[in-house]
Structure 1
Amino acid sequence: MKKFLNKTELSHHLDAVKAKGNSIGFVPTMGALHNGHLSLVEKGLSENDLIVVSIFVNPTQFDNQEDLVKYPRTLDADISLLQTVSDTSIIVYAPTVKDIYGKHIKSQSFTFDGLEHEMEGAFRDGHFDGVGTIVKRLLEIVKPDFAYFGEKDFQQLQIIKKLVELHHLPVKIVGCAIHRAEDGLAMSSRNTRLTEAHRHSAPFIYKTLKSAKVKFGTKSAKYVTEWVEKQFKKQPLLELEYFIIADTQTLKPVKRKSTKKTYRAFIAVYAGDIRLIDNIALN
Protein backbone atom coordinates (compact mmCIF):
# COMPACT_ATOMS: atom_id res chain seq x y z
CA MET A 1 0.00 0.00 0.00
CA LYS A 2 1.41 3.37 -1.03
CA LYS A 3 1.68 5.96 1.76
CA PHE A 4 2.47 9.63 1.26
CA LEU A 5 3.45 12.11 3.95
CA ASN A 6 4.00 15.03 1.59
CA LYS A 7 1.34 16.79 -0.50
CA THR A 8 3.70 17.53 -3.41
CA GLU A 9 4.68 13.89 -3.87
CA LEU A 10 1.04 12.82 -3.54
CA SER A 11 -0.12 15.34 -6.14
CA HIS A 12 2.52 14.24 -8.64
CA HIS A 13 1.51 10.60 -8.21
CA LEU A 14 -2.21 11.33 -8.56
CA ASP A 15 -1.65 13.48 -11.65
CA ALA A 16 -0.01 10.46 -13.28
CA VAL A 17 -2.92 8.24 -12.21
CA LYS A 18 -5.51 10.61 -13.69
CA ALA A 19 -3.47 11.01 -16.89
CA LYS A 20 -4.17 7.32 -17.55
CA GLY A 21 -7.91 7.95 -17.35
CA ASN A 22 -8.41 6.53 -13.87
CA SER A 23 -11.05 7.96 -11.54
CA ILE A 24 -10.13 8.88 -7.98
CA GLY A 25 -12.33 8.68 -4.91
CA PHE A 26 -11.46 10.28 -1.59
CA VAL A 27 -12.28 9.42 2.03
CA PRO A 28 -10.97 12.03 4.49
CA THR A 29 -10.57 10.74 8.06
CA MET A 30 -8.92 11.63 11.34
CA GLY A 31 -7.71 8.06 11.75
CA ALA A 32 -8.61 5.56 14.48
CA LEU A 33 -10.37 3.76 11.65
CA HIS A 34 -13.29 1.39 12.16
CA ASN A 35 -15.84 -0.47 10.06
CA GLY A 36 -17.74 2.73 9.41
CA HIS A 37 -14.72 4.17 7.63
CA LEU A 38 -14.23 0.89 5.75
CA SER A 39 -17.82 1.10 4.47
CA LEU A 40 -16.98 4.50 2.93
CA VAL A 41 -13.82 3.09 1.37
CA GLU A 42 -15.71 0.10 -0.05
CA LYS A 43 -18.38 2.40 -1.49
CA GLY A 44 -15.65 4.49 -3.07
CA LEU A 45 -13.88 1.47 -4.53
CA SER A 46 -17.12 0.32 -6.14
CA GLU A 47 -17.29 3.62 -8.05
CA ASN A 48 -13.63 4.50 -8.70
CA ASP A 49 -10.35 2.97 -9.83
CA LEU A 50 -8.45 4.26 -6.81
CA ILE A 51 -9.26 5.57 -3.34
CA VAL A 52 -7.20 8.06 -1.37
CA VAL A 53 -7.71 7.89 2.40
CA SER A 54 -6.34 10.83 4.34
CA ILE A 55 -5.43 10.29 7.98
CA PHE A 56 -4.98 13.61 9.71
CA VAL A 57 -6.10 14.82 13.14
CA ASN A 58 -7.05 18.37 12.27
CA PRO A 59 -6.21 20.75 15.14
CA THR A 60 -8.40 23.64 13.96
CA GLN A 61 -11.73 21.82 14.34
CA PHE A 62 -11.29 21.07 18.06
CA ASP A 63 -12.77 23.68 20.37
CA ASN A 64 -11.57 21.56 23.31
CA GLN A 65 -7.78 21.20 23.31
CA GLU A 66 -7.92 18.33 25.80
CA ASP A 67 -10.07 16.43 23.30
CA LEU A 68 -7.43 17.07 20.62
CA VAL A 69 -4.67 15.70 22.84
CA LYS A 70 -6.66 12.60 23.75
CA TYR A 71 -7.83 11.86 20.21
CA PRO A 72 -6.48 8.39 19.26
CA ARG A 73 -3.64 8.26 16.75
CA THR A 74 -3.19 4.74 15.37
CA LEU A 75 -1.63 5.07 11.91
CA ASP A 76 -0.06 1.60 11.70
CA ALA A 77 -3.26 -0.09 12.81
CA ASP A 78 -5.25 2.07 10.40
CA ILE A 79 -3.09 1.00 7.46
CA SER A 80 -3.39 -2.66 8.46
CA LEU A 81 -7.17 -2.32 8.55
CA LEU A 82 -7.26 -0.69 5.13
CA GLN A 83 -5.15 -3.53 3.73
CA THR A 84 -8.00 -5.92 4.58
CA VAL A 85 -10.03 -4.09 1.93
CA SER A 86 -7.31 -3.64 -0.71
CA ASP A 87 -3.53 -3.39 -0.76
CA THR A 88 -3.30 -2.07 -4.31
CA SER A 89 -6.29 0.27 -4.86
CA ILE A 90 -5.92 2.43 -1.73
CA ILE A 91 -3.43 5.23 -1.16
CA VAL A 92 -2.90 6.67 2.32
CA TYR A 93 -2.11 10.35 2.75
CA ALA A 94 -0.89 10.97 6.30
CA PRO A 95 0.44 14.54 6.34
CA THR A 96 2.03 16.44 9.18
CA VAL A 97 0.38 19.58 10.50
CA LYS A 98 3.14 21.59 8.81
CA ASP A 99 2.45 19.95 5.45
CA ILE A 100 -1.17 21.14 5.65
CA TYR A 101 -0.87 24.48 7.43
CA GLY A 102 2.73 25.58 7.06
CA LYS A 103 3.86 27.77 9.96
CA HIS A 104 0.42 29.19 10.78
CA ILE A 105 -2.12 26.77 12.25
CA LYS A 106 -5.23 28.84 11.68
CA SER A 107 -8.68 28.37 10.19
CA GLN A 108 -10.13 30.36 7.35
CA SER A 109 -13.47 32.02 8.06
CA PHE A 110 -16.41 30.58 6.17
CA THR A 111 -20.09 31.26 5.75
CA PHE A 112 -22.30 28.40 4.65
CA ASP A 113 -25.63 30.20 4.22
CA GLY A 114 -26.31 29.86 7.94
CA LEU A 115 -25.86 26.07 8.14
CA GLU A 116 -22.82 26.61 10.37
CA HIS A 117 -24.82 28.33 13.11
CA GLU A 118 -27.19 25.46 13.87
CA MET A 119 -26.71 22.52 16.27
CA GLU A 120 -23.00 21.66 16.39
CA GLY A 121 -22.14 25.21 15.38
CA ALA A 122 -24.02 26.57 18.37
CA PHE A 123 -22.18 24.28 20.80
CA ARG A 124 -18.67 24.10 19.26
CA ASP A 125 -17.19 27.53 18.63
CA GLY A 126 -15.22 27.73 15.37
CA HIS A 127 -15.71 24.04 14.59
CA PHE A 128 -17.02 24.43 11.06
CA ASP A 129 -14.36 26.98 10.13
CA GLY A 130 -11.87 24.23 10.98
CA VAL A 131 -13.83 21.63 9.02
CA GLY A 132 -14.17 23.92 6.01
CA THR A 133 -10.47 24.79 6.09
CA ILE A 134 -9.21 21.21 6.14
CA VAL A 135 -11.74 19.75 3.71
CA LYS A 136 -11.18 22.52 1.15
CA ARG A 137 -7.41 22.10 1.48
CA LEU A 138 -7.57 18.32 1.11
CA LEU A 139 -9.89 18.50 -1.89
CA GLU A 140 -7.48 20.93 -3.55
CA ILE A 141 -4.55 18.58 -2.88
CA VAL A 142 -6.19 15.28 -3.87
CA LYS A 143 -8.45 16.66 -6.67
CA PRO A 144 -10.78 13.64 -6.49
CA ASP A 145 -13.72 12.93 -8.76
CA PHE A 146 -15.83 11.82 -5.78
CA ALA A 147 -15.51 12.31 -2.02
CA TYR A 148 -17.34 10.17 0.54
CA PHE A 149 -18.72 11.28 3.90
CA GLY A 150 -20.85 9.46 6.45
CA GLU A 151 -24.32 10.70 7.39
CA LYS A 152 -23.50 10.36 11.10
CA ASP A 153 -22.09 13.87 10.73
CA PHE A 154 -25.10 14.97 8.67
CA GLN A 155 -24.65 18.66 9.40
CA GLN A 156 -21.01 18.40 8.33
CA LEU A 157 -22.12 16.61 5.14
CA GLN A 158 -24.54 19.43 4.26
CA ILE A 159 -21.89 22.04 4.99
CA ILE A 160 -19.32 20.30 2.79
CA LYS A 161 -21.83 20.15 -0.06
CA LYS A 162 -22.35 23.90 0.42
CA LEU A 163 -18.56 24.45 0.52
CA VAL A 164 -18.16 22.70 -2.83
CA GLU A 165 -21.04 24.71 -4.30
CA LEU A 166 -19.85 28.11 -3.04
CA HIS A 167 -16.20 27.58 -4.02
CA HIS A 168 -16.94 25.80 -7.31
CA LEU A 169 -14.83 22.77 -6.47
CA PRO A 170 -14.92 20.09 -9.20
CA VAL A 171 -15.90 17.12 -7.05
CA LYS A 172 -19.12 15.25 -6.31
CA ILE A 173 -19.85 14.79 -2.59
CA VAL A 174 -21.45 11.44 -1.77
CA GLY A 175 -23.30 10.89 1.51
CA CYS A 176 -23.21 7.34 2.90
CA ALA A 177 -25.54 5.67 5.40
CA ILE A 178 -24.57 5.57 9.08
CA HIS A 179 -22.70 2.38 9.95
CA ARG A 180 -23.81 0.96 13.29
CA ALA A 181 -22.72 -1.69 15.75
CA GLU A 182 -25.12 -4.61 16.21
CA ASP A 183 -26.69 -2.86 19.21
CA GLY A 184 -27.34 0.29 17.17
CA LEU A 185 -24.57 2.57 18.41
CA ALA A 186 -23.26 4.71 15.56
CA MET A 187 -19.66 3.82 14.74
CA SER A 188 -17.20 6.47 15.93
CA SER A 189 -13.51 6.61 16.73
CA ARG A 190 -14.51 8.00 20.13
CA ASN A 191 -16.33 4.78 21.02
CA THR A 192 -13.01 3.13 21.87
CA ARG A 193 -12.62 5.58 24.76
CA LEU A 194 -15.94 4.65 26.39
CA THR A 195 -15.82 2.84 29.71
CA GLU A 196 -17.52 -0.55 29.82
CA ALA A 197 -20.48 0.94 31.68
CA HIS A 198 -20.87 3.84 29.26
CA ARG A 199 -20.53 1.52 26.26
CA HIS A 200 -23.33 -0.59 27.71
CA SER A 201 -25.56 2.48 28.12
CA ALA A 202 -24.76 4.20 24.81
CA PRO A 203 -27.13 2.18 22.55
CA PHE A 204 -29.96 3.97 24.38
CA ILE A 205 -29.20 6.95 22.10
CA TYR A 206 -30.26 5.18 18.90
CA LYS A 207 -33.10 3.38 20.65
CA THR A 208 -34.49 6.77 21.67
CA LEU A 209 -34.04 8.18 18.17
CA LYS A 210 -36.07 5.31 16.72
CA SER A 211 -38.85 5.90 19.23
CA ALA A 212 -38.77 9.62 18.47
CA LYS A 213 -39.21 8.86 14.78
CA VAL A 214 -42.35 6.85 15.49
CA LYS A 215 -43.78 9.57 17.73
CA PHE A 216 -43.03 12.28 15.16
CA GLY A 217 -45.49 10.58 12.84
CA THR A 218 -48.41 11.72 15.01
CA LYS A 219 -46.99 14.23 17.50
CA SER A 220 -45.49 17.72 17.23
CA ALA A 221 -41.76 18.42 17.26
CA LYS A 222 -42.19 20.15 20.63
CA TYR A 223 -43.89 17.10 22.13
CA VAL A 224 -41.21 14.72 20.80
CA THR A 225 -38.38 16.95 22.02
CA GLU A 226 -39.81 17.16 25.52
CA TRP A 227 -40.36 13.39 25.55
CA VAL A 228 -36.71 12.75 24.61
CA GLU A 229 -35.48 15.13 27.30
CA LYS A 230 -37.52 13.24 29.90
CA GLN A 231 -36.09 9.91 28.79
CA PHE A 232 -32.52 11.07 29.24
CA LYS A 233 -33.23 12.42 32.71
CA LYS A 234 -33.77 8.78 33.68
CA GLN A 235 -30.30 7.78 32.40
CA PRO A 236 -27.62 8.33 35.09
CA LEU A 237 -24.69 7.59 32.76
CA LEU A 238 -25.83 9.70 29.79
CA GLU A 239 -26.19 13.48 29.73
CA LEU A 240 -28.21 15.00 26.89
CA GLU A 241 -26.59 18.10 25.39
CA TYR A 242 -29.23 18.68 22.74
CA PHE A 243 -32.01 17.02 20.79
CA ILE A 244 -33.26 18.98 17.79
CA ILE A 245 -35.69 18.20 14.99
CA ALA A 246 -34.64 20.19 11.95
CA ASP A 247 -35.36 20.78 8.28
CA THR A 248 -32.79 18.73 6.34
CA GLN A 249 -32.10 21.57 3.90
CA THR A 250 -31.78 24.58 6.22
CA LEU A 251 -30.98 22.64 9.42
CA LYS A 252 -33.22 25.08 11.27
CA PRO A 253 -35.40 23.65 14.07
CA VAL A 254 -38.92 22.85 12.91
CA LYS A 255 -41.73 24.91 14.38
CA ARG A 256 -44.63 23.45 12.43
CA LYS A 257 -44.50 20.31 10.31
CA SER A 258 -45.04 20.53 6.55
CA THR A 259 -45.69 17.62 4.18
CA LYS A 260 -43.52 19.42 1.62
CA LYS A 261 -40.36 19.24 3.74
CA THR A 262 -38.09 16.50 5.05
CA TYR A 263 -36.93 16.39 8.66
CA ARG A 264 -34.19 14.78 10.67
CA ALA A 265 -33.65 14.41 14.41
CA PHE A 266 -30.20 15.30 15.71
CA ILE A 267 -28.77 14.44 19.10
CA ALA A 268 -25.58 15.02 21.11
CA VAL A 269 -24.96 13.14 24.34
CA TYR A 270 -22.13 12.96 26.85
CA ALA A 271 -21.19 9.50 28.09
CA GLY A 272 -18.80 10.55 30.84
CA ASP A 273 -16.42 12.93 29.09
CA ILE A 274 -16.98 11.35 25.65
CA ARG A 275 -19.31 13.29 23.37
CA LEU A 276 -21.42 11.18 21.02
CA ILE A 277 -23.61 12.42 18.16
CA ASP A 278 -26.22 10.67 16.06
CA ASN A 279 -29.22 11.43 13.86
CA ILE A 280 -32.13 9.78 12.09
CA ALA A 281 -34.32 10.63 9.10
CA LEU A 282 -37.91 11.21 10.21
CA ASN A 283 -39.82 11.16 6.90
Structure 2
Amino acid sequence: MSQADFNQSMAWLKTLAAKKREPRQPEKIMVFFAGRGLGGFVLENVVAAALVRPFPRAYVVAIYKNSPPYREFITDCNPYLHSEMKADADSDITFLLDWFDIGWAAPVKCPLPEWSERMLHEPDLVLLPSMLSVDAARLAGLAEKPPVLRLSAGCEESLLAALEGHGVDPNEWFACLHVKEPNSGADDRPRRGADPRSYLPLLRHVALRQGGQVVRIGAPGAFPLPGMEGVIDLAAAPFAEQAAAISRARYFIGTDSGPVTLASAFKVPAAVTNALGYAKR
Protein backbone atom coordinates (compact mmCIF):
# COMPACT_ATOMS: atom_id res chain seq x y z
CA MET A 1 0.00 0.00 0.00
CA SER A 2 1.39 3.34 -0.99
CA GLN A 3 1.71 6.15 1.52
CA ALA A 4 -1.03 8.06 -0.34
CA ASP A 5 -3.43 5.09 -0.11
CA PHE A 6 -2.56 4.65 3.56
CA ASN A 7 -3.28 8.28 4.32
CA GLN A 8 -6.58 8.11 2.44
CA SER A 9 -7.61 4.94 4.29
CA MET A 10 -6.78 6.47 7.66
CA ALA A 11 -8.78 9.59 6.83
CA TRP A 12 -11.77 7.41 5.89
CA LEU A 13 -11.46 5.41 9.12
CA LYS A 14 -11.34 8.59 11.20
CA THR A 15 -14.46 9.87 9.46
CA LEU A 16 -16.24 6.56 10.04
CA ALA A 17 -15.19 6.49 13.71
CA ALA A 18 -16.52 10.02 14.22
CA LYS A 19 -19.87 8.98 12.77
CA LYS A 20 -20.00 5.95 15.03
CA ARG A 21 -19.46 8.17 18.07
CA GLU A 22 -22.43 10.35 17.14
CA PRO A 23 -25.78 8.95 18.32
CA ARG A 24 -27.79 7.85 15.33
CA GLN A 25 -31.23 9.41 15.15
CA PRO A 26 -33.97 6.88 14.35
CA GLU A 27 -35.63 7.44 10.99
CA LYS A 28 -38.33 4.75 11.17
CA ILE A 29 -40.27 4.00 14.34
CA MET A 30 -43.00 1.37 14.70
CA VAL A 31 -45.47 1.60 17.58
CA PHE A 32 -47.70 -1.32 18.58
CA PHE A 33 -50.84 -0.23 20.47
CA ALA A 34 -52.90 -2.70 22.50
CA GLY A 35 -54.23 -0.60 25.39
CA ARG A 36 -57.08 -1.97 27.40
CA GLY A 37 -60.18 0.21 27.21
CA LEU A 38 -60.38 3.83 26.14
CA GLY A 39 -58.19 5.14 28.95
CA GLY A 40 -55.46 2.57 28.35
CA PHE A 41 -55.38 3.23 24.62
CA VAL A 42 -55.24 6.99 25.10
CA LEU A 43 -52.46 6.65 27.67
CA GLU A 44 -50.41 4.49 25.29
CA ASN A 45 -50.76 7.20 22.64
CA VAL A 46 -49.56 9.86 25.07
CA VAL A 47 -46.56 7.77 26.18
CA ALA A 48 -45.69 6.92 22.57
CA ALA A 49 -45.89 10.60 21.62
CA ALA A 50 -43.57 11.50 24.49
CA LEU A 51 -41.05 8.85 23.41
CA VAL A 52 -40.96 9.76 19.70
CA ARG A 53 -41.15 13.54 20.17
CA PRO A 54 -37.34 13.90 20.53
CA PHE A 55 -36.99 12.53 16.98
CA PRO A 56 -38.86 15.03 14.78
CA ARG A 57 -37.41 13.60 11.56
CA ALA A 58 -38.58 10.06 12.24
CA TYR A 59 -41.44 8.47 10.31
CA VAL A 60 -43.74 6.90 12.91
CA VAL A 61 -46.10 4.05 12.03
CA ALA A 62 -48.89 2.94 14.37
CA ILE A 63 -49.98 -0.71 14.34
CA TYR A 64 -53.10 -1.86 16.16
CA LYS A 65 -56.34 -3.78 15.88
CA ASN A 66 -59.16 -1.40 14.98
CA SER A 67 -61.56 -2.57 17.66
CA PRO A 68 -63.32 -0.81 19.31
CA PRO A 69 -63.69 1.68 16.45
CA TYR A 70 -62.79 4.68 18.62
CA ARG A 71 -59.15 3.59 18.32
CA GLU A 72 -58.82 4.96 14.81
CA PHE A 73 -60.19 8.32 15.95
CA ILE A 74 -57.68 8.49 18.81
CA THR A 75 -54.69 7.76 16.57
CA ASP A 76 -55.95 10.36 14.09
CA CYS A 77 -55.76 12.87 16.95
CA ASN A 78 -52.13 11.97 17.66
CA PRO A 79 -50.01 14.46 15.68
CA TYR A 80 -46.86 12.41 16.26
CA LEU A 81 -48.07 9.50 14.10
CA HIS A 82 -47.56 9.61 10.35
CA SER A 83 -49.16 6.37 9.18
CA GLU A 84 -51.31 3.50 10.43
CA MET A 85 -51.58 -0.22 9.82
CA LYS A 86 -54.89 -1.45 11.20
CA ALA A 87 -55.99 -5.06 11.57
CA ASP A 88 -59.68 -5.83 11.16
CA ALA A 89 -61.75 -6.17 14.31
CA ASP A 90 -62.39 -9.89 13.70
CA SER A 91 -58.78 -10.70 12.83
CA ASP A 92 -56.99 -13.29 14.97
CA ILE A 93 -53.71 -11.43 14.58
CA THR A 94 -52.61 -7.81 14.55
CA PHE A 95 -49.29 -8.12 12.74
CA LEU A 96 -47.25 -10.75 10.89
CA LEU A 97 -43.58 -11.09 11.77
CA ASP A 98 -43.16 -12.71 8.35
CA TRP A 99 -43.47 -9.24 6.84
CA PHE A 100 -39.95 -8.49 8.03
CA ASP A 101 -38.69 -11.15 5.63
CA ILE A 102 -38.66 -9.40 2.27
CA GLY A 103 -36.61 -11.99 0.37
CA TRP A 104 -37.90 -13.18 -2.98
CA ALA A 105 -38.85 -16.52 -1.38
CA ALA A 106 -40.62 -14.97 1.62
CA PRO A 107 -43.78 -17.01 2.37
CA VAL A 108 -45.92 -13.96 3.19
CA LYS A 109 -45.44 -10.45 1.90
CA CYS A 110 -46.98 -7.25 3.27
CA PRO A 111 -49.68 -6.12 0.84
CA LEU A 112 -49.11 -2.42 1.55
CA PRO A 113 -46.82 -0.67 -0.96
CA GLU A 114 -45.63 1.65 1.82
CA TRP A 115 -43.96 -1.29 3.57
CA SER A 116 -41.38 -1.86 0.87
CA GLU A 117 -41.23 1.72 -0.41
CA ARG A 118 -40.22 3.08 3.00
CA MET A 119 -38.29 -0.07 3.95
CA LEU A 120 -40.37 -0.48 7.10
CA HIS A 121 -39.00 -4.02 7.44
CA GLU A 122 -35.87 -2.36 8.84
CA PRO A 123 -37.21 -0.09 11.63
CA ASP A 124 -34.75 1.81 13.80
CA LEU A 125 -36.97 1.59 16.87
CA VAL A 126 -39.90 -0.64 17.82
CA LEU A 127 -42.16 0.30 20.74
CA LEU A 128 -44.17 -2.62 22.11
CA PRO A 129 -47.29 -2.39 24.30
CA SER A 130 -45.28 -3.41 27.37
CA MET A 131 -43.03 -0.40 26.79
CA LEU A 132 -46.03 1.92 26.61
CA SER A 133 -47.85 0.64 29.69
CA VAL A 134 -45.69 2.61 32.08
CA ASP A 135 -46.57 5.13 34.73
CA ALA A 136 -46.63 8.27 32.60
CA ALA A 137 -45.62 10.38 35.59
CA ARG A 138 -42.23 8.64 35.62
CA LEU A 139 -41.28 9.84 32.13
CA ALA A 140 -38.84 12.72 32.35
CA GLY A 141 -40.32 15.96 31.07
CA LEU A 142 -43.81 14.59 30.45
CA ALA A 143 -45.46 16.50 33.29
CA GLU A 144 -43.66 19.74 32.43
CA LYS A 145 -44.45 19.58 28.71
CA PRO A 146 -46.90 16.81 27.87
CA PRO A 147 -47.63 15.93 24.25
CA VAL A 148 -51.15 17.01 23.38
CA LEU A 149 -53.70 15.23 21.26
CA ARG A 150 -55.75 17.42 18.95
CA LEU A 151 -58.62 17.02 16.53
CA SER A 152 -57.35 16.20 13.07
CA ALA A 153 -57.68 18.94 10.46
CA GLY A 154 -59.84 16.69 8.33
CA CYS A 155 -62.66 16.37 10.86
CA GLU A 156 -62.34 19.37 13.19
CA GLU A 157 -64.66 21.72 11.28
CA SER A 158 -67.43 19.15 10.81
CA LEU A 159 -67.29 18.03 14.44
CA LEU A 160 -67.50 21.56 15.79
CA ALA A 161 -70.43 22.21 13.46
CA ALA A 162 -72.12 19.09 14.83
CA LEU A 163 -71.67 20.36 18.39
CA GLU A 164 -73.24 23.64 17.41
CA GLY A 165 -76.12 21.69 15.92
CA HIS A 166 -76.65 20.00 19.28
CA GLY A 167 -76.98 23.41 20.93
CA VAL A 168 -73.41 24.11 22.05
CA ASP A 169 -72.89 27.87 21.77
CA PRO A 170 -69.56 28.47 19.97
CA ASN A 171 -69.30 31.90 21.60
CA GLU A 172 -69.71 30.69 25.19
CA TRP A 173 -67.74 28.35 27.42
CA PHE A 174 -68.94 25.01 28.68
CA ALA A 175 -67.94 22.28 31.10
CA CYS A 176 -67.96 18.61 30.17
CA LEU A 177 -69.38 15.92 32.47
CA HIS A 178 -69.09 12.14 32.35
CA VAL A 179 -70.61 9.87 34.96
CA LYS A 180 -69.93 6.17 34.60
CA GLU A 181 -73.06 4.42 35.76
CA PRO A 182 -73.03 1.26 37.89
CA ASN A 183 -73.09 -2.01 35.95
CA SER A 184 -72.31 -0.27 32.66
CA GLY A 185 -70.35 -2.73 30.53
CA ALA A 186 -67.55 -5.01 31.70
CA ASP A 187 -66.02 -3.47 34.78
CA ASP A 188 -63.56 -4.94 37.25
CA ARG A 189 -63.97 -1.91 39.50
CA PRO A 190 -67.74 -1.48 39.91
CA ARG A 191 -67.38 1.16 42.63
CA ARG A 192 -66.27 3.64 39.98
CA GLY A 193 -69.91 3.96 38.99
CA ALA A 194 -72.21 6.65 40.33
CA ASP A 195 -75.81 7.77 40.13
CA PRO A 196 -76.03 10.62 37.58
CA ARG A 197 -78.82 12.18 39.63
CA SER A 198 -76.32 12.95 42.39
CA TYR A 199 -74.61 15.35 39.96
CA LEU A 200 -77.71 17.47 39.31
CA PRO A 201 -76.69 20.14 41.90
CA LEU A 202 -73.37 20.43 40.07
CA LEU A 203 -75.16 20.94 36.75
CA ARG A 204 -77.32 23.67 38.24
CA HIS A 205 -74.29 25.37 39.78
CA VAL A 206 -72.40 25.52 36.48
CA ALA A 207 -75.40 26.57 34.39
CA LEU A 208 -77.05 29.00 36.82
CA ARG A 209 -74.24 30.28 39.05
CA GLN A 210 -71.16 30.13 36.83
CA GLY A 211 -73.00 31.05 33.64
CA GLY A 212 -71.65 28.26 31.45
CA GLN A 213 -73.19 25.38 29.58
CA VAL A 214 -72.76 21.75 30.62
CA VAL A 215 -72.21 19.06 27.99
CA ARG A 216 -72.88 15.58 29.32
CA ILE A 217 -71.22 12.67 27.51
CA GLY A 218 -71.74 8.97 28.04
CA ALA A 219 -72.74 5.68 26.52
CA PRO A 220 -75.97 5.11 24.58
CA GLY A 221 -78.71 4.15 27.00
CA ALA A 222 -77.30 6.26 29.81
CA PHE A 223 -79.72 7.57 32.42
CA PRO A 224 -81.58 10.48 30.79
CA LEU A 225 -81.06 13.82 32.47
CA PRO A 226 -84.08 15.97 33.24
CA GLY A 227 -84.53 18.96 30.98
CA MET A 228 -82.44 21.83 32.34
CA GLU A 229 -81.53 25.14 30.79
CA GLY A 230 -77.89 25.20 29.74
CA VAL A 231 -77.46 21.41 29.91
CA ILE A 232 -76.85 19.45 26.69
CA ASP A 233 -76.96 15.65 26.72
CA LEU A 234 -74.68 14.04 24.12
CA ALA A 235 -74.86 10.49 25.49
CA ALA A 236 -76.51 9.31 22.28
CA ALA A 237 -74.11 11.20 19.99
CA PRO A 238 -71.24 9.48 18.11
CA PHE A 239 -67.97 9.07 19.98
CA ALA A 240 -66.17 11.55 17.74
CA GLU A 241 -68.63 14.32 18.64
CA GLN A 242 -68.31 13.56 22.34
CA ALA A 243 -64.51 13.62 22.04
CA ALA A 244 -64.71 16.95 20.24
CA ALA A 245 -66.77 18.32 23.14
CA ILE A 246 -64.11 17.14 25.59
CA SER A 247 -61.38 18.84 23.57
CA ARG A 248 -63.16 22.20 23.65
CA ALA A 249 -64.38 22.20 27.26
CA ARG A 250 -63.14 24.80 29.73
CA TYR A 251 -62.84 21.97 32.25
CA PHE A 252 -63.89 18.35 32.63
CA ILE A 253 -65.48 16.54 35.57
CA GLY A 254 -65.87 12.79 35.45
CA THR A 255 -65.70 9.50 37.25
CA ASP A 256 -62.62 7.27 37.12
CA SER A 257 -63.03 6.14 33.52
CA GLY A 258 -61.54 6.53 30.04
CA PRO A 259 -62.96 9.96 29.13
CA VAL A 260 -61.05 11.68 31.95
CA THR A 261 -57.80 10.33 30.48
CA LEU A 262 -58.84 11.66 27.09
CA ALA A 263 -59.52 15.08 28.62
CA SER A 264 -56.03 15.15 30.10
CA ALA A 265 -54.58 14.12 26.73
CA PHE A 266 -56.35 17.11 25.16
CA LYS A 267 -54.83 19.21 27.97
CA VAL A 268 -58.24 20.08 29.39
CA PRO A 269 -58.24 20.65 33.19
CA ALA A 270 -59.95 17.63 34.74
CA ALA A 271 -61.29 16.64 38.14
CA VAL A 272 -61.88 12.96 38.90
CA THR A 273 -64.68 11.71 41.14
CA ASN A 274 -65.32 8.20 42.51
CA ALA A 275 -61.61 7.47 42.10
CA LEU A 276 -61.52 4.79 44.78
CA GLY A 277 -59.10 2.69 42.77
CA TYR A 278 -56.30 5.22 43.14
CA ALA A 279 -55.72 4.15 46.73
CA LYS A 280 -54.32 0.83 45.47
CA ARG A 281 -52.13 2.28 42.71
Query: Greater share of strand residues, 1 or 2?
Result: 1
Q: Output the TM-score relative to the length of structure 2.
A: 0.25
Q: Output the TM-score relative to the length of structure 1.
A: 0.24
